[in-house]
Copies of this chain bind each other. A is one copy, B any other.
């Protein structure tokens, strides 16, 4: 496997450039420019393009060609951009991918409409690739979209609540994050001509990688190296977010510890200078170890799902990608 890592990295960089080029073309020369220049602003902002790359890899994993899935790959990235633009309005976020968010750069009305039209262009691109599979591809995509909307409202609901259970949290991240990763894999494997069993297996890989990735994101917020992570450590606590670690800690804590955690909810966050104290509490309660275990559990589940693919060389890159996405904590 190690011998292939360089090859996989090069492939990722090559495909990322291709995806960026197609993405760039999606709204270029469209009119009115008052709609499509702001759309280009988010489309051309730097992103990792993991979702479209997963579409391509999933097509490849079932023996298909990447060329069967480029437009679909671009469609899932446009869908992702749509969610970013609308979520940023709802969260009143300032920055996205190192730039001003779209509604701050332009205005809220433009951002609402740009989101809507990114979604419409996403469907347009999806249709270009789905000859013969139209119904199942559009159906996967639409289900993913429905789940994302449901996940986003759950996230908002939970913010306003005092207590959220771990299973409620898992439902939310499944819908908000993992369902879209699943959908990318499902669409790619379908376009690549996979069997029903293969499509299901690869979709399951995506779902579980998505869950693991989100829990990792929660964990990194507290244990990452600030310079590498690019965000302030503890910002979830500062903002009073009900993350995996926080929910798990509240489940386990008793007495004074519990009171301390309840304060995060009651005061809608904590001060920067308190992060260290909470990190120590998390360590004492063992929730950092719990998070690691959970990430490993879902990662293993993801990799086991790939057993449906018999040829090792076909699936090895998906194993590598899981490792890449989750290696930050290992």
| A150 contacts across to B, CB distance below 8 A | 31-32, 35, 117
A268 → chain B, closest Cβ, in Å?
17
- B113 touching A90, Cβ below 8 Å: yes
Pairwise interchain contact B90-A153, C-beta atoms closer than 8 A:
no
Residue A139 lies at the interface, judged by CB distance under 8 Å to chain B: yes
CA gap between A127 and B136 in the complex, in Å:
9
Q: Are B32 and A153 in contact (CB under 8 A)?
A: yes
Kindly state whether residue A34 has any CB partner on chain B within 8 Å. Answer: yes
- A156 with B123, Cβ < 8 A, contacts A138-B134, A146-B117, A149-B117 known: no
Q: Are the C-beta atoms of B116 and A86 separated by less than 8 Å? A: yes
A271 and B215 alpha carbons, distance in the complex (Å): 58
Which residues of chain B are near A121, meaning CB under 8 Å? 146
A209 contacts the other chain (Cβ, under 8 Å)? no
Cα–Cα distance between A124 and B141 once the two chains are bound (Å): 10
- Interface residue ranges of A11-67 to B (CB < 8 Å): 31-32, 34-35
- Minimal Cβ-Cβ distance residue in B for A109: B90
> How many positions in chain A have a CB within 8 Å of any CB in the partner chain?
37
Which parts of A137-193 form the interface with B (CB within 8 Å)? 138-139, 142-143, 145-146, 149-150, 152-154, 156-157
List the number of copies, as a whole number. Answer: 2
The answer to the question of A130 belonging to the interface, with a C-beta cut-off of 8 Å to chain B, is yes
| Bound: A19/B115 CA distance, A | 29
Within 8 A of B (CB), among A84-121: 86, 89-90, 109-110, 112-113, 115-117, 119-121
Contacts of A117 on B, CB cut-off 8 Å? 146, 149-150
A135 interface contact, C-beta 8 A: yes
- 25 pairs of residues in contact across A and B, judged by CB atoms under 8 Å: A32-B153, A32-B154, A32-B157, A34-B156, A34-B157, A35-B149, A35-B150, A109-B156, A110-B156, A113-B149, A115-B116, A116-B119, A117-B146, A120-B145, A120-B146, A120-B149, A123-B138, A123-B142, A124-B143, A127-B135, A127-B138, A131-B135, A134-B134, A134-B135, A138-B138
- Residues of chain A having any CB pair with chain B under 8 Å: 31-32, 34-35, 86, 89-90, 109-110, 112-113, 115-117, 119-121, 123-124, 127, 130-131, 134-135, 138-139, 142-143, 145-146, 149-150, 152-154, 156-157
Listed from nearest, the 3 A-B pairs whose CB atoms lie closest are: A134-B134, A117-B149, A35-B153
Known pairs A90-B112, A116-B149; list 16 more (Cβ under 8 Å).
Answer: A32-B150, A34-B156, A89-B109, A110-B153, A110-B156, A116-B119, A119-B119, A120-B145, A121-B146, A123-B123, A123-B145, A124-B142, A127-B135, A130-B135, A134-B134, A134-B138
